[in-house]
Amino acid sequence: MNAHPSSSASDYLIRAARRGDEQAIVGLIAELAAFENLSAQMQATDERLREHLFGSQPAAECWVVEAEGGLVAYAIFFRNFSTFLAKPGLYLEDVYVRPAFRGRGIGGALLRALGRLAVERGYGRFEWTVLDWNEGAIRFYRSLGATVLPEWRVCRMEGDTLRAFGDPTDAPAAASGA
C-alpha cells in the first residue's frame, strides 16, 4: 500500500492529492509553465489529471501543499527503473511552489517527504531535471545535497514527431529468418 503524507508545519500541510484538487493543480501547472516560458505547450486539463492521477491505471502520483486555505505547491512524480541498480526509483516530473510561499521551507519539506517515500518504498534513486538557466533552483537542489549531472541531456519526442516515429506503417520491414 502506498504511503500518504500528512506532514505539517505550523502554517502548511503536505498531503496526497485527491479528487477535487484537479482544478487547483492545473492552475499551479499553468503558473509553472508561464515561469518556464512554456505556456504554449500547456495542455493539462482537469479531466486529463483526473484520469492519470486517480483513474483505473494511474500514471503518476501527486502531493500538494495546503496553506492559507488553498493549494500553494505541488509535486507530480512516478516510479521509474534503474537497470544499473536493478531497482525502481522515484522520478519527480514537476515541483512548484507559488512565489509568495517560497522561503518558508515548503519546497524543501515537500522534497524531503518524497525522499522519505522513496526510502520507505525501497527505491534506489530519487531523480528530477532542472533547466540549465534556473540557477536559483540549481543552488537550492545542491543545498539539499542533490548532485546536478552536467553530462546528461534529456531526449524527447512528442506530438507529430512521436506520432511519425511510432507509425507502424513507416516501420522498417522485419528481417526474414535465415
Catalytic machinery residues: 141
| Cell numbers linked to 151 | 553530462
Sign of the dihedral defined by the CA atoms of residues 54, 59, 61, 67, in that order: negative
Other CB atoms within 10 A of residue 74 CB = 24
| Distance, CA of 41 to CA of 47 (rounded, Å) | 17
| Distance, CA of 89 to CA of 87 (rounded, Å) | 7
Q: What value, to the nearest 5°, has the Cα angle with vertex 74 and ends 50 and 100?
A: 135
Other CB atoms within 10 A of residue 26 CB = 18
Collapsed DSSP state (helix, strand, coil) of residue 96: strand
Given the DSSP bridges, would you call strands 87-97 and 126-128 parallel, antiparallel or unpaired? Answer: parallel
